[in-house]
Amino acid sequence: MSATITKGGAKLTGRRHRLDRPELLAPAGSLEKLKFAVHYGADAVYIGGQKYGLRSNADNFSFDEMREGVEFAKRYGAKVFVATNIYAHNEDIEGLEDYLRNLQDAGISAVIAADPAIIETVQRVAPKLEVHLSTQQSVLNWRTVQFWKEEGLPRVVLARETSLEEIAEIKSKVDIEIEAFIHGAMCSSFSGRCVLSNHFTDRDSNRGGCCQSCRWKYDLFVDEEMIASEEDNAFTMSSKDLCMIEHLPELIEVGVDSFKIEGRMKSVHYVATVVNAYRQAIDAYFADPQGYELKPQWVEEIHKAANRPLNTGFFFDTPGTEDHIYEPEDKQAPYDFAGVVQSYDADSGIAIIQQRNNFKPGQEVEFFGPGGTFFKQVITEIQDEEGNVLDAARHPLQRVLVRTEQPVKPMDMMRKRIR
């Protein structure tokens, strides 16, 4: 069965995806982030272990944490994938087999890999693990997808440079699961193949050490004449972030099987907010595909967590000058994650909230939770757990009592506007 849609005058035809509905795949840089991602609607999460992944600065998982994460995910019917997506040097091979067996024993569903040596080793020593081909392989065409299918891989993560039209053609010619990034940071290089970090800081971007040198400020010279200075008008290679919340029907109809959100280094608030918005949009589409309409509040929620200006990447055209950030970028989202609900007493209307950023009486805050739970209120009074009235919740992870105007649930979040 196929689906045909049009976008910008181009006809896009793709085989309907093999999954009943696309998987929402979220990043989890820590065990806490994993739990919030799953609670807020992710069908699967991808994490990093303490070896072989490309986010060496994340709070990567021990095997005990993996097991705990897998057990938590199972309660929601979700899966856990592990990134093993480095390009290995000789010294990386020792210990690989044991590491992969431990992933399998921990209940991990799949690994995300790019290096053929790692892929072959997974298939040989840990056959219960699916292998998903990493975007690090820069796959852009159906013949390459066919090659990896014939190598036994059930899923390919496409390069970020793949267009929607190209995805449609791939799906029409190869019966395989396709995963595509639909939200998050874009790489100024070709799908992560940058070596600027290696040259500038001796940190290998393809072995987990990228220093994000594309986000630095630079002086710009033409024929030895400085035409832009980092002091007054910073020049940078920084790209805008990807956001496809407004184009989910197109992605669904061409048959993208897994919608991947980037951001293992992002905050708990970012992960929960972005996952929650996409979850609601996906569910609304499948509840009524013909009557589906994008709700403005989903887009608004995305912007409450956005780190940078947003665009649609390579899906509809090749990014131009307008898709890059040349001025000093304001990375600060307009809201701060202020607290997370730990419990709620319906009789008194009092919630116990764990503080994550300073808040005080008189401030307007927003509470939100999975599935569209949302309301605003002004904080009237804050007490500590001994009943003492406080002028502010200022201590990190402090548990305080706050009266809420509507019922809340554990793991609901509270945020405050900062600009």
248 or 204: which carries more pLDDT confidence?
A: 248
3-state class (DSSP) for residue 34: helix
Query: What percentage of the chain reaches a pLDDT higher than 90?
Result: 70
Q: Residue 11 has what pLDDT?
A: 46
Pick from 369, 367, 362, 349: nearest CA to 390: 362
Distance CA 60, CA 358 (A): 27
Range name among 72-76, 166-170, 317-321 with the lowest pLDDT average: 317-321
What is the model's pTM? 0.90
The CATH number given to 335-417 is 2.40.30.10
Distance CA 138, CA 194 (A): 12
Report the chain's terminal Cα–Cα distance, integer Å: 49
Distance CA 116, CA 137 (A): 10
Pick from 395, 388, 389, 393: nearest CA to 414: 393
Please, what's the b/e burial string for 130-163 (b: 16 or more CB within 10 A of its CB; e: otherwise)? bbbbbbbbbbbebebbbebbeeebebbbbbbbbb
Helix H or strand E encompassing 164 = helix 164-173
Residue type, 112: I
318 or 2: which carries more pLDDT confidence?
A: 318
Mean per-residue pLDDT over the chain, rounded: 89
Which residue bears the tokens 């070709």? 190
Residue type, 242: L
305-353: pLDDT as tens digits = 988 889 999 999 988 888 877 766 555 678 899 999 999 999 999 999 9
The CATH number given to 2-186+239-323 is 3.20.20.70
- CATH 3.20.20.70 in the chain, residues? 2-186+239-323
Q: Residue 331 has what pLDDT?
A: 57
pLDDT tier at 18 (50, 70, 90 boundaries)?
low
**Quick one: three-class SS letters along 185-238?**
CCCCCCCCCCCHHHHHHCCCHHHCCCCCHHHCCECEEECCEEEECCCCCCECCC
Q: Residue 338 has what pLDDT?
A: 97
Q: Average pLDDT, stretch 290-303?
A: 96
207-260: pLDDT as tens digits = 656 777 877 888 888 888 887 776 766 667 788 899 999 999 999 999 999 999
Q: Residue 58 has what pLDDT?
A: 53
Q: Average pLDDT, stretch 382-402?
A: 97
- CATH 2.40.30.10 in the chain, residues? 335-417
Helix H or strand E encompassing 285 = helix 268-287
